[in-house]
């Protein structure tokens, strides 16, 4: 066996080991919950969390965000009348250039995972979702919801607004750096932890977030 082939095998073996260790850590982080003693309220602010298989969105009532998520930012301002906003945070370059699954490429994925580039907050104006399957719902007490709103609003940074994939969404400059450690799903999980919702201590994967909802 040539030296080059041995090197390739070692590199592939190291990569597989890294993936296995990462998934194991993600499982451990998801399984160790914070706020596990919380008693759900019987009334409060209804929110939703949606999972598309690789990414989670927080779906919150629009009222607390009207000052920055404005109808004029949309390709069709009429969608600004929708009662909910779907929030997702992530790597700017990846988010802006992957409107469809067919747009995904290894180069952009790799850059995002190693923390290259800035971030954006994707905001879509949507009707109230119907809970079930990949969409979960929960009630938050007013003070819990305020902490979640503060998490989302604290993510927004100064910068130009970019039109989204369609008529109802837009991108806003965001704070923080995306990486394999601080993923879009960890952003969702962190917000729910701050709100006081039972949630794993580290949730880089979608299933880590949805496990507790």
pLDDT tens-digit readout, 112-166 = 888 889 999 999 999 999 999 999 999 999 999 999 999 999 999 999 999 999 9
- Residue 2 φ/ψ region, left for φ over 0, alpha for ψ in the -120 to 50 degree band, beta for the rest: beta
pLDDT of 13 reads 66
**Strand ranges, E, within 67-118:** 84-91
Pairwise CA distance, residues 103 & 165, whole Å = 12
Pairwise CA distance, residues 185 & 133, whole Å = 18
* Model pLDDT for residues 65-98, shown as the tens digit of each residue: 999 999 999 999 999 999 999 999 999 999 999 9
> What would the mean pLDDT of 176-199 be, rounded to a whole number?
97
Share of the chain above pLDDT 90, in %: 78
Pairwise CA distance, residues 150 & 24, whole Å = 31
CA distances from 206 to 10, 47, 48, 71 (A): 30, 17, 14, 29
pLDDT of 4 reads 64
> What would the mean pLDDT of 48-58 be, rounded to a whole number?
97
Mean pLDDT of the chain: 93
């Amino acid at each position: 066996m040539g030296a080059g082939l041995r090197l390739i095998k070692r590199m592939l073996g190291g990569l597989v080991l890294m993936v296995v260790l990462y998934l194991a850590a993600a499982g451990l982080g998801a399984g160790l919950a914070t706020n596990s003693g919380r008693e759900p309220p019987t009334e409060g602010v209804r929110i939703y969390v949606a999972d598309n298989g690789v990414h989670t969105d927080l779906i919150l009532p629009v009222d607390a965000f009207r000052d920055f998520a404005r109808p004029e930012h949309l390709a069709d301002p009429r969608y600004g009348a929708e009662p909910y906003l779907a929030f997702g945070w992530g790597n700017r370059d990846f988010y802006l250039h992957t409107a469809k699954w067919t747009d995904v490429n290894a180069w952009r994925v790799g850059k995002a995972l190693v923390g290259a580039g800035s971030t954006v907050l994707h905001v879509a104006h949507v009707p109230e979702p119907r809970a079930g399957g990949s969409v979960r719902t929960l009630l938050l007490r007013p003070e819990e919801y305020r902490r979640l709103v503060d998490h989302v609003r604290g993510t927004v940074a100064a910068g130009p607004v970019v039109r989204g994939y369609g008529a109802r969404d837009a991108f806003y400059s965001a704070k923080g750096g995306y990486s394999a450690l601080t993923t879009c799903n960890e952003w969702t999980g962190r917000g729910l932890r701050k709100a006081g919702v039972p949630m794993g201590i580290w949730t880089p994967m979608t299933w880590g977030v949805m496990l507790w909802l």
